[in-house]
Chain A
C-alpha cells in the first residue's frame, strides 16, 4: 500500500478506493443502535434485532457500492449474509437449551428421579425411575446387538473386502440404511415379532432390535473411518513377523484405534438414546417398573416425555419438561464422555 502511494502521480490512481477496515464495525454499531431505539420505543426484542440485521445488510453494501465498486458491494453482502446465517443458527440451540432448563429445573428432584408413575393419581409425587431403567435396559441391549455386528462389518469392509463387489454394495447399503426413518425401524421390529409371537406383542427387546437397526450403520461408519486411519506399515510389520491376519487385526489394528471406536460407539448410543417413535410402537408404555426385557411393556425416557406431554395437564407438562432436562443431560454427558475418550486415545492413532 505505502509503496503504491509513494510512487503514484496525481493523475494515475492504481488502487480502487476501499472502505476503511473499521467500516463494518461502524455500520454494525449503528444498526444495533437503531434496533435498540426501536426496542426502547416499544417494539418487541425480536423485531428490534431483526431491524438491526436488515439495516446492516442494506447500509453496508450500499455504502460499499458508492465508494468501492458493485463487485465489492456484492462481496460484502455475501460476507454479511454468511455471518448472519451462522448467528441465526445459534438462536434455536440456545433458545431450546434455555427453555428446557428453565421449565425443567423446578421438576427435577431426587424424588422425581427415584419414583415411578405406578398408582400416581392427582397431585401425588411421581417420577421417571421406571423410564430411566427402561432406557438403560433397552439401549444397553441395542448396543450389545449392534456393536459386535457393526465392528465386524467394518472389519470386513476395510480388512477383507477392499475393492470387492460385495464390499461396495455393503458400503452403499449402510449409507442408505442411515436414512431409514426411525418409525420404520419400529414397524420392522413390530412386524417381525408380531409374525412370530402374535399380534398384541409389546416388549422391551423389540425396542432393542428396532434401535440396533438405527445404531448399526453409525457404528459401521465410525469404525470404518478409524480402521482406515491405522497405517498399513503396522499391518505389514505384523505380517512380516509371521502373525496371521486375524491376530494382526485383533492384536495390532483394533488396539491402535480402540479409542476412536469407543468414541464412535458412545456417540451412536447418544444418538439412539433419544429415539421415541420406534419404542412407542414396539415397546409400548407402562407406569410401573419392568426390568424384564422379554416380558411386558417397557417405558423409556423419551416415551415417558411424550406420554406426559399428551396428557397436557399442568402436571404432565412439567413432568415432560423435567424428563426432557434429564434426557438432554444424559445425551450431553455421553457426548462429552465421547470427546474425552477421543482426546485421551487420539495420539495413539498417530494423526
Chain B
C-alpha cells in the first residue's frame, strides 16, 4: 500500500521530502489497489468457478455439461440486450440531439437532468415496476402483435397472459440504458466544431442536413462507443430481468410467450438461495463468462472512443 518509488532528484532528508514521498506512495498505492481489484475479480472468479466446469451432471439440468448449461443463458442474455438496444438507441440519439441542437437553451439543462434521473432509479424499483405495472400494459400490445404479426417467429405466441415476457424485460432494460447512451452521445454531439455547423448552414443546408453532414460524421465513433457501453450495461443487468421474467434456460426467438429464456445474471440471482457449494461453483463460473463478455465489450467501446479522441486531437 505505501511502497514508495525511488525519488532520486531530491535527497529524502528533510521532513518535507519525506511527507512528499509518503503522500505520493499513498496515491500510487491507491491506483495499485484498483488494478489489483480488477485482477482479483478475474482471479477469484476463476479459482472459485473452475470446479464448476466439471461437477455432477445433475447440477447442469436440463443440460448435461457446462457448455450446454451456459449456452442457452448466453443466448437469453444477448437476446434481451439486443431488444433493449433496438428500443433505446434511436430514442437516446433523438434525445441527445434534442438536448444538444434542438431544445431552447433554457430547457436543455433541466431535460438533461431529468434523463439523468432515470439512471438514479434503483434497478430493483425498475424490476418491481416492470413486473407489476408495465407488464400488464405490454400484455395487451402482445396480444395485438400476435394477432397481426403472428407469422413472424418473434410473435408466434401464444401470448403470455401476465405480460411478463422477454419483450417486457427488454423494454425495461431499454429504459435503464437510455441515460448512459444519451449522456455520452450528447457530449460528443456538443463537441462538433461550431465552424463546421455554420459552414453547412451558410451553404443553405436545413438543420437536419447540417446535422447529417457535420454532427453525425464527427460523432460516429463516440456514438458507437456509447451504444456498446449501453450494451454492456444491458448484458449485466440482473434484478430487472430476474423480477420481470419467470425464466427457463431455453433457446427460443419467441418474444411474447410464457416460456422465456433466462439471462446469465438473472439465473444467478434466482438460483442463489438454494445453492450447494457445487452449484455455487457452477453459478460463479457462469458469472465469469458474463464478466469476460462485458469486459470485452467495454474494452472495445473504450478503445473505439479513445482512438477517435486521439484522431480528433491531431
Query: Which A residues have a C-beta under 8 Å from some C-beta of B?
Result: 46, 71-72, 74-75, 78-79, 81-86, 88-90, 92-93, 95-96, 99-100, 103, 148-153, 155-157, 159-161, 166-167, 169-170, 172-185, 187-188, 190-192, 194-195, 199-200, 213, 216, 220, 244-247, 249-250, 270-271, 273-277, 280-281, 302, 305-306, 309, 317, 320-321, 324, 327-328, 331-332, 335
Contacts and interface: CB of A to CB of B under 8 A. Distances in A.
A179 B91 contact: no
B62 interface: no
A321 to B, nearest CB: 7
A81 B49 CA distance: 48
A99 B133 contact: yes
B68 interface: no
A173 B34 contact: yes
B207 A181 contact: no
Contact of B295 (A176, A245, A331): A176
Contact of B287 (A96, A151, A153, A184): A184
B197 interface: no
Looking at chain B's contact residues, the main secondary structure is helix
Interface string B248-291: 00000000000000000100110010000100100110010011
Interface string B74-112: 000000000000000011011101100011000000010
Counting from the closest, the 4 A-B pairs by CB-CB distance are A181-B236, A274-B122, A85-B94, A246-B23
Contacts of A169: 35
Interface in B123-149: 123-129, 131-134, 137
B98 A82 contact: yes
B29 A152 contact: yes
A246 B133 contact: no
B298 A191 contact: no
B235 interface: yes
Nearest to A99: B133
B245 interface: no
Q: Which of A84, A150, A173 gathers most chain B CB within 10 Å?
A: A173
B69 to A, nearest CB: 16
Contact of A324 (B24, B93, B124): B124
Interface stretch (B39-47, B53-61, B150-158): B39-47
Nearest to A74: B208
B109 to A, nearest CB: 12
Nearest to A185: B41
Contact of A161 (B19, B31, B302): B31
B140 to A, nearest CB: 9
B24 A160 contact: yes
B294 interface: yes
Nearest to B298: A179
Interface residues of B, number: 90
Given A184-B41, A335-B117, A324 B35 contact: no
A327 B284 contact: no
B193 interface: no
A246 B20 contact: yes
Nearest to A168: B306
Given A149-B30, A179-B233, A328 B121 contact: yes
A100 B128 CA distance: 9
A55 B135 CA distance: 27
Given A100-B129, A332-B120, A277 B269 contact: yes
Q: Which of B27, B114, B297 gathers most chain A CB within 10 Å?
A: B27
B238 interface: yes
A295 B287 CA distance: 26
B41 to A, nearest CB: 5
B122 A275 contact: yes
Contacts of A74: 206, 208-209
B45 A187 contact: yes
Contacts of A305: 124-125, 128
Q: Which of A88, A175, A213, A246 gathers most chain B CB within 10 Å?
A: A246
Contacts of A302: 122-124, 239
Given A89-B178, A181-B237, A188-B40, A82 B125 contact: no
